[in-house]
Structure 1
């Protein structure tokens, strides 16, 4: 078992808080990278497959070097396939598909719903407490989405609303993955091995989807412009997923999920820097509502 360490109600230990900020800063870069991939004509599922496979192989080699081998049994393989499908294989394809239709800074806000969904899944499974703060927080999160998505009100144009709503599938998958990272983690598996297995599992799931849809694995033209998003996404995934499993084991899935709000801020900053985006005023209203949702959900005292 990988039980969480007791976490003081006053906040996270400094080392965990620092790791959480680092994970958010790193993962926030995936949103502008997804847009770069879309502009380089990467097939969405093909990009998810390529980055997962590359990062997974790198981490598998690192795990083998550290432990002397990289071996999995049937139970571990099932875990890696489930985790990989939930956290990489399917949601990355969704987000890359949505990237050409929705501003990268707006798309990062879908992460704001992941902490709420994480707690809701835990509550439904009987592993976490569901109280009035959680309910109000969920309503604020929904209000934040409405500010962005309602026609004539939000910052998502009418042609991008459908893609924005499709992108909301991703945080549900991320929330399920947050809980599964604790529930399904094999005994004695290191964070590097878990990260490698999850990424390779994600590559398998993405590969199956890619073949089923008859999609391409690579852009029609292989150039430096096409290679750059893959290199960046591979590096982001390799580092982030190790931090992901380290943090979930240390602080639990619900408290880890606060990273999504920090990743939103990082994603906005990355998008502003890379694409010179200037969000509308309603964007900041939506962000405020979602941050208020985060505060209500995560400021409650642990059971």
Structure 2
């Protein structure tokens, strides 16, 4: 296949960066929406059960409309289970519990640790190559997070610092998921097909747990702010997360992990707007560092053949 001309390559890289920024800022809305749900007293498993069901229905509907229903195979079932556990059930459970005890902006900041986990994994698996510029880019991003957190080094009154390690479980699992996808591919599935199957398995896991533990979430009137937040969270998360999986395949796990910086910035800004949380003006300097980090951690060159890998997931 003929290589792309330099101008087209630059345009492609710019498109990936813009997609990264847009998805990250939109994804940042999930933390304040989660905080609203938890503040209204809704249980973690009940929230997750409905979120997974709505997401699965939406994504399968898209598959039908596109005429691209995936064939079910044993390897794809294993992949869907892996995506369900590493990208949905376990990280979402950790985040929902944590956001019930921490400010939404703090949880958003913690998400930015994804690259810290992703980079050594990517190097070990051979998914990406280390360079001084890429390492500096990651450090710039982490520096941005430090600037957000530093003026408010002590957590606000009523927060419980012991839940920060639990919040860190989500970025760890996202890093594992991203590197596995980048290394072994998605068994010929596109992002929507992959997430449709994963959301279905997540629903099959969370609904029995929610009902069995008495954590079901009623959707009958009277409704509260959580009932408004839930469908917005479910629909936006499904679409943005599918985009994230696509981005991993196009640009690599380490570059895609930079989305965490914009999830952080978006999460803090949305939390300020929707929840009245207040942070230092250092956030603007932090966002500048984040953008600089993304500029340094560039997407890898596109592969000549961009079809999803058929590599084995056991």
Which category of TM-score, normalised to the shorter sequence, fits these structures? 0.7 to 0.9
In the TM superposition, residue 198 of structure 1 has moved relative to its aligned partner by 2.3
Q: Give the distance between the partners of 2:136 and 2:125, measured in 1 at CA.
A: 20
Which residue pairs with 1:195 in the alignment? Answer: 195
Q: CA deviation at 1:10?
A: 7.8
Unmatched segments (≥5 aa) in structure 1: none
Summarize the Cα distance change of 1:293–1:200 in structure 2 as closer, same or farther, 3 Å threshold.
Answer: farther
Q: In 2, Cα distance between the equivalents of 1:74 and 1:241?
A: 23
**SS across alignment from 1:85:** helix
Aligned equivalents of 1:208, 1:243: Cα separation in 2: 28
Q: CA 1:280 to 1:206, structure 2 compared with 1: closer, same or farther past 3 Å?
A: farther
Conserved 8 A contact 1:114-1:175: yes
Q: How far did residue 183 of structure 1 move? A: 3.4
Structure 2 partner of 1:247: 247
Query: CA offset at residue 97 of structure 1?
Result: 1.0
Which residue of 1 is the match for residue 217 of structure 2? 218
Structure 1 position 180, deviation (Å): 2.5
Q: 1:46 to 1:10 in 2, by over 3 A?
A: same
Q: What pairs up with 1:109-188 in 2 under 5 angstroms?
A: 109-130=109-130, 154-157=153-156, 159-188=159-188
2:120 aligned with 1:96, yes or no? no
Aligned to 2:84: 84
* Bigger Cα displacement from structure 2, 141-150 vs 191-200: 141-150
- Residues 276 and 108 of structure 1: is their aligned pair in 2 closer, same or farther, counting only changes over 3 Å? same
Note the C-alpha offset of 1:105: 1.2
Question: How far did residue 284 of structure 1 move?
Answer: 7.9
Distance 1:178 1:233, change over 3 A: same
Residue pair 1:86, 1:176 contacting (<8 A) in 2 also: yes
* Residue 45 of structure 1, CA deviation: 2.4
In the alignment, the residues of structure 2 paired with residue 107 and residue 44 of structure 1 have an alpha-carbon distance, to the nearest angstrom, of 16
TM-superposition CA deviations, 1:178-200 (whole Å, max 9, x none): 12233343343222212212222
Equivalent runs, 1:7-86 vs 2, <5 Å? 13-67=13-67, 69-86=69-86
Aligned residues of 1:16 and 1:247 also touching (Cα < 8 A): yes
Shift of 1:204: 3.3
